[in-house]
Amino acid sequence: MIDLKDIKKDFPIYQHEPNLIYLDSAASALKPKVVIDRVNQYYETSGVNVHRGTYQLAYEATEAYEKAREKVASFISAQPDEIIFTRGTTSALNMVAQFYRNKLKPDDEIITSELEHHSSLLPWMANAKATQAKLVYIPLTKEGRITVENFKSVLTPKTKVVAINYISNVMGYKSPVEDIIKIAHEKGITVILDAAQAVPHMKVDVKSLDVDFLAFSGHKMLGPSGIGVLYGKKQLLNDLEPVEYGGEMVDEVFKDHAEFSDAPIKFEAGTPIISGAIGLAQAVEYMEHIGYDTIHQHTMKLHDYTMNELKKINHLVIYNEGADISTLTFNIEGVHPHDVSSYLDQDNICIRAGHHCAQLVSRFLEVPSTLRVSFHIYNTIDDCKKLIESLKKASDFFQMF
């Protein structure tokens, strides 16, 4: 296990903001210098387009871009031609929903859950509306979890698609995706996973999962913003129509028809996010250097310490004591989350307040919104101590009124 004592030195933000207590990594992780440098290097030494040019610089840019695809593919045990670079998880999940819009018929059923981030829910809600298919919600347990039993309870011969989260962005629960995928496939149902919260914290292996589509973002896993990944099984991708049309995604164009390139190029119309893909590959390399075991052990140590201390604070309610990753969701009773987060902001503590783009979770918890603390590799016990101290002050202060 690598020593994390000086880990903050890898993240230049701490030189600019030495007192920063950043506890919102589930929204966006901080960027290590190696990633920033790699992105800059592309712009400083190249900056040209991929695939099109016949000159040396273009060849090198294409090499770097396609090597990034290979890196990301091996990171999740996929083949390079199963990796589509997108703008992020949102555009990846929207793309899958677009693929299936013409394939859904009235009364077909789409299984989803109240735990979904809006990007995993709304594209399917739109599909349901457009095709008169039906959105079906997996009943959550009292704790707020998806279970295999509850999944089976909504499975019917009309089920066509299952679109759920791998790990909930608010509750930090891991969905039992292995069993769900197996059961769905026995009935020929397609499974799409939102893995935006999974990839930053755990090894994701699309081959052993046997998942059909899986999406994640660069910026939550120490990579640049504006880049994400859609994994799709090769045979599925080859059968699907492009969602966007334009340059480079086409082989031959005639006046009345066109023949498209093979996946993944078919799904990357226009100039791709070259710097983002290259930066993402660097983030993968950095994550691999740290290692998931280290990430998990470190963040769970911070989680356990913080949860223990949170429980000692008056009027504080924790909503996800059994989380599988380090995300902590809570409220101070009688105090609006926004008031708490502003109070903490005074002490340079960044936490999330709101409904975290997952309004159905707030509705499930029967609260207007919540506070969320999330960790990554650069956080320390000292960060947690400062959080607790500030939360205690905030609780005492607001209880005065």
Partner 1 sequence: MNIEHLYRQIIMDHYKYPKNKGLILDPSYMTVHLKNPSCGDDMTVQLKVVDDKIVDARHQGTGCSICCSSASVMTQTLKDQEVEHALSIIHEFYEMIKGLPYNPDILKGDAIVYQNVSQFPARIKCATLAWKAFEQGLNKIKEDNQNG
When asked if residue 399 is in the footprint of partner 1 (CB under 8 A), the reply is no
357 given a catalytic annotation: yes
Q: Which residues of 135-149 are buried (b: 16+ CB within 10 A; e: fewer)?
A: ebbbebeeebbbbbe
Measured from the Cβ of residue 350, the count of other Cβ atoms closer than 10 Å reads 16
Residue 134: both structure tokens together = 């039906």
Q: Which of 183, 318, 354, 380 binds partner 1 (CB under 8 A)?
A: 354
Give Cα separations from 16 to 9, 228, 298, 305 (angstroms): 11, 27, 24, 27
Q: Which of 311, 364, 384 is nearest to 114 (CA)?
A: 364
Shorter beta-carbon distance to partner 1: residue 281 or 335: 335
Query: In whole angstroms, what separates CA 257 from the centre of its chain?
Result: 37
Q: Which of 34, 154, 357, 388 is catalytic?
A: 357
Q: Which of 25, 165, 369, 390 binds partner 1 (CB under 8 A)?
A: 369
Options 83-91, 200-208, 281-289, 338-346: segment touching partner 1 (CB under 8 A): 338-346
Compose the 198-237 pattern: x for residues touching partner 1 by CB under 8 A, - for all others: ----------------------------------------
Compose the 77-106 pattern: x for residues touching partner 1 by CB under 8 A, - for all others: ------------------------------
CB of 373 to partner 1, least distance (A): 17
Site for partner 1 in 312-331 (CB under 8 A): none
With a CB cutoff of 8 Å and minimum separation 6, the contacts of 389 are 347
CB of 349 to partner 1, least distance (A): 12
CB of 345 to partner 1, least distance (A): 7
CB of 249 to partner 1, least distance (A): 34
With a CB cutoff of 8 Å and minimum separation 6, the contacts of 356 are 26, 27, 117, 169, 170, 370, 372
Options 24-32, 80-88, 257-265, 352-360: segment touching partner 1 (CB under 8 A): 352-360
Q: Which of 201, 355, 372, 376 binds partner 1 (CB under 8 A)?
A: 355
When asked if residue 345 is in the footprint of partner 1 (CB under 8 A), the reply is yes
When asked if residue 24 is in the footprint of partner 1 (CB under 8 A), the reply is no
Task: Pick left, alpha or beta for residue 306 (phi over 0 → left; psi -120 to 50 → alpha; otherwise beta).
Answer: alpha
Q: Which of 113, 169, 326, 362 binds partner 1 (CB under 8 A)?
A: 362
Query: Count of residues for the chain?
Result: 401
Q: Which of 198, 221, 230, 241 is nearest to 69 (CA)?
A: 230
Residue 81: both structure tokens together = 């031609």
Per 3-state DSSP, what percentage of the chain is helix, strand, and coil (rounded to 5)? 45, 15, 40
CB of 351 to partner 1, least distance (A): 12
Peptide bond into 264 cis (omega under 30): yes
When asked if residue 55 is in the footprint of partner 1 (CB under 8 A), the reply is no
Give Cα separations from 390 to 292, 342, 384 (angstroms): 30, 11, 10
Q: Which of 336, 364, 385, 388 binds partner 1 (CB under 8 A)?
A: 336
Which residues sit at the interface with partner 1, rule CB under 8 A? Answer: 336-339, 342-343, 345-346, 353-355, 359, 362, 368-369, 397-398, 401
Residues classed as catalytic:
357
